[in-house]
Amino acid sequence: MDGSSRLEAKLLYRRLDSVLAALDVSRPGKKVVVSFLEEAFRTLREDLRLRAAVLYAEGREGFTFVKAVGDLRNPTRDSLDRGAPPVSLVLQHGVYIFPDPGAEGTPARTGILPRGPAAALAVGSRGDRHLIFLLVGEGWVREELDFALNTVRAALGSRLMEERARGSFREAAEIQQSLLLDELPEFPGYELAARSVPTEEVGGDFFDFIPFDGEMLGLAIGDASGHGLPAALLVRDLVTGLRMGIERELKVAPVLTKLNRVIHRSRLSSRFVSVFYGELEASGNLIYVNAGHQPPLLFSRGRVSELTIGGTVIGPLPEVKFNRGVVRMEPEDVLVALTDGIFDRRSKGGEFFGETQLHRVVEESNGRPAAELLDRIFTAAFAFGDGGSWEDDATAVVIRRIETPATPGA
């Protein structure tokens, strides 16, 4: 995934987060979905080339019409059977883009929408599901629409489940805390330091170290969409799956591909997470995959390298593939991996902490231990935001190579 695509994905999620943040999930589910439909249609209409949207809610006899927004010249149907072709396709796939606008069984031929390219998504659990049918106009891009609708479905479904799951909030916090490392492992020739500060009792950031033996160390950092309970549940699933998968296969790209399928099918998470995973060898070679995460920075003898190779974020699409990148850490090199909570920390003037401030902190800390550099990063970011509370979960991992391991028998 190139830089522009990664930026567009993050912008989409930020827009969705702003829409979702305004929802009152304590209201009945139908009112929540109607409110979301109106605001999301207004927010995403131009980006996705949307012309109209129609909402149906599940009842005893099927799905009944609730709300229509946008450009609808023809009346919509008052009810839909569960077995109707377009309904069956959407319920089966969750998100479905109809390939032939005029074919039998499409929203146009069944009276749901006027003729034209169409797509639909389903949210909720059996007995309390909602269907949203969308009419799209000229210039729409299938890949963008597919990505966005999977994201919308996951995010809205997460919010609908949030109120039901509040009783398990403290349990989720305990589970998440049990996944975080009390003490970091030792890896000869390297200093390790890491910290995660959630904005709520539980957060959507995580870091992890997986020691294989004295010759290789797995390391990970990730950022789930949003924060609070849905993000925490996703972190639980991802960390557990990553540990199990890596230990069994020792091949990170296939493991992330399989994890993506699992997260995509999940209903209890926000289903969007950026992940950076790497395997650091004692010799200094670092093999990594960046799944849509803010690129970690390798500071090496006056040069700074971004670790960008990998693929898209995990969750929105059912099938994705990842590529592996390789870099090398020499003695005194420093690797710094952060989440958006630090990079996007704002000053009173609206400026981002960003790479400029991070570079300054690392350069001023040249030769300092990894733990001290970690402290300086958090201190600088906190001060940059004028000492205000963290607006997003903030996590950092720092690795410093301090020496070349001795050759056995030397």
Please say if the pLDDT value at position 267 is more than 60: no
Secondary structure (H, E, C), the chain = CCHHHHHHHHHHHHHHHHHHHCCCCCCCHHHHHHHHHHHHHHHHHHHHCEEEEEEEEECCCCEEEEEEEECCCCCCCCEECCCCHHHHHHHHHCEEEECCCCCCCCCCCCCCCCCCCEEEEEECCCCCCEEEEEEECCCCCHHHHHHHHHHHHHHHHHHHHHHHHHHHHHHHHHHHHHHCCCCCCCCCCEEEEEEEECCCCCCCEEEEEEEEECCEEEEEEEEECCCCHHHHHHHHHHHHHHHHHHHHHCCHHHHHHHHHHHHHHCCCCCCCEEEEEEEEECCCEEEEEEECCCCCEEEECCEEEECCCEECCECCCCCCCCCCEEEECCCCCEEEEECHHHHCCECCCCCECHHHHHHHHHHHCCCCCHHHHHHHHHHHHHHHCCCCCCCCCEEEEEEEECCCCCCCCC
Residue 406: the pLDDT is 53
Range with the largest mean pLDDT of 2-16, 65-79, 167-181, 373-387: 373-387
pLDDT tens, 145-157?
888 888 888 878 7
If you average pLDDT over residues 35-49, what whole number do you get?
A: 85
Please say if the pLDDT value at position 344 is more than 80: yes
If you average pLDDT over residues 100-111, what whole number do you get?
A: 84
Round the average pLDDT of the chain to a whole number and report it. Answer: 84
If you average pLDDT over residues 230-252, what whole number do you get?
A: 75
What percentage of the chain reaches a pLDDT higher than 70? 81
Which of residues 76 and 286 earns the better pLDDT score? 286
Range with lowest mean pLDDT among 60-69, 177-186, 337-346:
177-186
If you average pLDDT over residues 313-341, what whole number do you get?
A: 93
What percentage of the chain reaches a pLDDT higher than 90? 41
Residue 60: the pLDDT is 82
pLDDT tens, 347-403?
988 899 999 999 999 999 988 999 999 999 999 999 999 888 888 889 999 999 997
User: Domain 3-167 carries which CATH code?
Assistant: 3.30.450.40
The reply to whether 3-167 and 180-401 are identical in fold is no
In the chain, where the domains are located: 3-167, 180-401
The CATH number corresponding to 180-401 among 3.90.550.10, 3.60.40.10, 3.40.50.970, 3.40.630.10 equals 3.60.40.10
User: Quick one: pLDDT band at residue 165, thresholds 50, 70, 90?
Assistant: low
If you average pLDDT over residues 252-258, what whole number do you get?
A: 85
User: Quick one: pLDDT band at residue 178, thresholds 50, 70, 90?
Assistant: low
Residue 410: the pLDDT is 46
Residue 339: the pLDDT is 94
User: Quick one: pLDDT band at residue 47, thresholds 50, 70, 90?
Assistant: confident
User: Quick one: pLDDT band at residue 219, thresholds 50, 70, 90?
Assistant: very high
If you average pLDDT over residues 218-246, what whole number do you get?
A: 80
Residue 10: the pLDDT is 63
Residue 125: the pLDDT is 80
Residue 393: the pLDDT is 87
